[in-house]
Every structure is written in structure tokens, then in C-alpha cells.
Amino acid sequence: MTTEVKKKTGFLYELRKNRALWVMLLPALVIVILFQYFPMAGLVLAFKNYRFDQGVFGSAWNGFDNFRYLFQSGTGWLITRNTIVYNLVNLVTSQALAILIAIFISEINNRVFKKLTQSFIFLPYFISWVIVGTFVYAIFNYETGVLNNLIISAGGEAVNVYNMPWVWPIIICCFNSWKWCGYNSVIYIAAITGVDREIYEAAAVDGAAIVQRIRHITLPTIRPTIITMLLLNVGRILRGDFEMFYQIVGNNGQLFNATDVIDTYVFRSLLQGSNLGMNAAASFYQSVLCFAIIMIVNATVKRMEPDYALF
């Protein structure tokens, strides 16, 4: 009797029972294995002195020399700091702005104006970073930029923003928030829409103002969504948005110390040099730290609020 039950609940039984679903899953499974798991074999480059004539597996092992060189040169700490700081600031600003926009749209009573506002705010998400980079260049270009034309027309002197590294963190964070706040706000709007409207009506009858309703009803209700979004984004805290940094900053060496992140450093190193071992070490270091951070943050959330943890 026990054997029969095991047969009916085993993997082969499920495979036969749901073979149509497994066939539908097969293309996605093959793609994930080919493009996600097979390339992981290349991680051995991080521990090798790679030579083109000897190949990936024929090159000599050099232990942690690639990692040691990455950090002894000072580059490793610089790009790690930039990546973490940029992602933390972008995470806070974009999510906070998305929450504010979601609350603002949910309080609009005119349905037509509400839809137009939501569509207008969502529009930047569809604009490529290549186009955004063009916008940035058109605004801050020293000779023909909009900013300098306005300054000169007002009687001032032109400013070379591309020679001012301290300004670019602000510029990058502003454009990142502008592009992503509309997309992120959709999730919060959906969470707010799920709140029972009778709660708001009861609060309004009791004399609660809009600010009070937002503070005591809206924000506590969408708190699980906020925590989930933060957890999902924390997992990418060591992965900078390569397109954003590369298209906005480009190859301006004067801005590298202020804007270089792990992704742009690896890409530029591959173009300018042949030290694949150190590039692989930087990527491997990035992946390990991402995994460690998401595990630590999830464990912290699970300890404080078990229901809000991812796993």
C-alpha cells in the first residue's frame, strides 16, 4: 500500500500527469540552463592567470591574486563604495517618490485627470537610456547646452559641468528617479486600490483629514508591499544600472572616481585591456556580495517581521 502511494506521488507520476505543462516549461528551462548555468563555468577565470593560447581550463591557477590586485590598486574599494552608495540613494529616492506619486494619484477624484496623470508619469519608463543620455548632453554641454545658454542669457558665465565630478551623483539620482518612479508607483497604486474604501469613508465621517487618512490607513496598509519592494531591490544593491551610468557619463575619465561602478569598470576593462582574470574576479566578487546582502537583509526582516520576509 505504501509503495503504491509513493508511485502516485513521485516525480515520474507528476511528470506523466502534467506532461503538457512540462513541455510548455521546457523552452524556458533550456534557455535558463544555457544562458545562466553553463556560463557559470567561466567563474574559474577569477582564480586563474588567463592566457588566450591555453584557454579557460588550461590556464594556470593563481589563487586569489586577481582579487588581491583589484583591491590593492584601490579600484576595488572605490567601485564598491560608488555602487553601494548610488544604489542606496537611488533605491530610497525612487521608492519614496513612487510612494508619494501613488498616494497622490489615489487621492484624485477626477477619473480622466487621474488616468492622464498616471500615463504621463509612466511615460519616462519607455524612454531608452540612450535617449536620456542625449537629453543630459543637450542640457549640460559646455558650448551648446541649454543650461549654459540660460546662464549666458542671464548675464552669467558658462559652467563646465563635465569638469565638476561632485555634481554628477545628484544628476544621476535625479534622472534615475525621473525614469523609474512612474513604473514603481504602479505597484503601490495597485496596493492602495486593494484597501477597502469603507475604511476611508468611516475615517472621513469621524473627521480625519487627508493627511491623517494617509498616515493611519494608507501607509500601514501598503507597508508589506514597501518592504517586499525594498527586499527585491536590495538584492541588486551591488549591481549598478550599467546603461544609465554608461549612457549618461560615457568615457569621461574626469568623472570616473565619482561615477564608476562595478559594471562600468568591468565593461571598460574588457574594452581597454586583456586581463580577463581580474574582470572575472570583479564580477564574482559582485555576485557573492549581492547574495550575502540579500541573505542578511532577509534574515533581519524575518527576525523582526516574519510575515514580510521573502523566504
What confidence tens digit (pLDDT) does each residue in 260-302 have?
A: 888 888 888 777 766 788 888 888 888 888 888 888 888 887 8
CB 179 within 8 A of CB 126: no
What confidence tens digit (pLDDT) does each residue in 122-178 have?
A: 899 999 999 999 999 999 998 888 999 999 999 888 899 988 989 999 999 999 999
Assign 8 a pLDDT band (cuts: 50, 70, 90).
low
| Structural domain spans, the chain | 2-61, 68-308
Answer whether residue 5 shows pLDDT above 60: no
Answer whether residue 7 shows pLDDT above 60: no
pLDDT at 28: 93
Q: What is the pTM of this model?
A: 0.79
Answer whether residue 120 shows pLDDT above 50: yes
What confidence tens digit (pLDDT) does each residue in 65-106 have?
A: 888 888 887 788 888 888 888 988 988 898 999 999 999 988
Superfamily assignment of 68-308 in CATH?
Answer: MetI-like (1.10.3720.10)
